[in-house]
Amino acid sequence: GENVEQHPSTLSVQEGDSAVIKCTYSDSASNYFPWYKQELGKRPQLIIDIRSNVGEKKDQRIAVTLNKTAKHFSLHITETQPEDSAVYFCAGKQRYSTLTFGKGTMLLVSP
Amino acid sequence: DGGITQSPKYLFRKEGQNVTLSCEQNLNHDAMYWYRQDPGQGLRLIYYSQIVNDFQKGDIAEGYSVSREKKESFPLTVTSAQKNPTAFYLCASTHLGIGDTEAFFGQGTRLTVV
């Protein structure tokens, strides 16, 4: 089955800096890669996703890049703000299959 | 108000007791999932179901059981065989099909053994 590795496990940045979280996946058949943000004590919520026919997707301060050849994808957050502090999960999925999550990255943005 | 609802929010279990966590969705999603979340462990899949009356074991199914008698409902029972049940449990649902879509999560149930 699919295996998703996520790095780093924790990331501390200063407000205004950029943050990058990287994930690798094992199954070349995976074609859908969402990113979820989970604030403390709350449910994970989708922030951005990318499909395998696209190399990059951007939504305001967040962007995701996908390298199918290398089987890795990354989340980029620019101009970080304290409210970006949360746990971020990447995931990979094949069509008609289940989502496999990475172990999460705790992002701390200091004012 | 469409969504996925878990209950209860907090649950306390005594040693040797079975407890059932509820998960209901009105999104008409085909697939439903149960995840366990421990600090530093991410989201680990317990069970999932892609169709009524059918379900599959995930990575950590031992000590848990599920049923899927209705499309809208996917309850999880934590049995006495689960030796370390204290955790945060999340239910999720998705469409299945040509266009993969996001997973919607319930608000979670925090289970504590007392």
DSSP string, A78-91: -S--GGG-EEEEEE
| Contact (CB<8Å) B103/A96 | no
What does the mean pLDDT of chain B come to? 91
Ranges of residues in chain A with a pLDDT under 50 are: none
pLDDT at B21: 97
Q: What angle do CA A81, A87, A90 make, to 5 degrees?
A: 110
Identify the residue with better confidence: B16 or A47: A47
Residue B1 has pLDDT above 60, yes or no: no
CB atoms within 10 A of CB B43: 26
Whether A15 and A111 have beta carbons less than 8 Å apart is answered as yes
Task: Give contacts of A44 with chain B, Cβ < 8 Å.
Answer: 43, 90, 105
What pLDDT does residue A99 have?
84
Please give the Cα distance from A92 to B2 (Å, whole number): 25
The candidate with the shortest Cα–Cα distance to B25, out of B104, B111, B108, B110, is: B104
Query: Is B31 part of the contact surface with chain A (CB cutoff 8 Å)?
Result: yes
Do the chains contact at B102 and A96, CB–CB below 8 Å? no
Question: Is the sign of the CA dihedral A63, A18, A104, A106 positive or negative?
Answer: negative
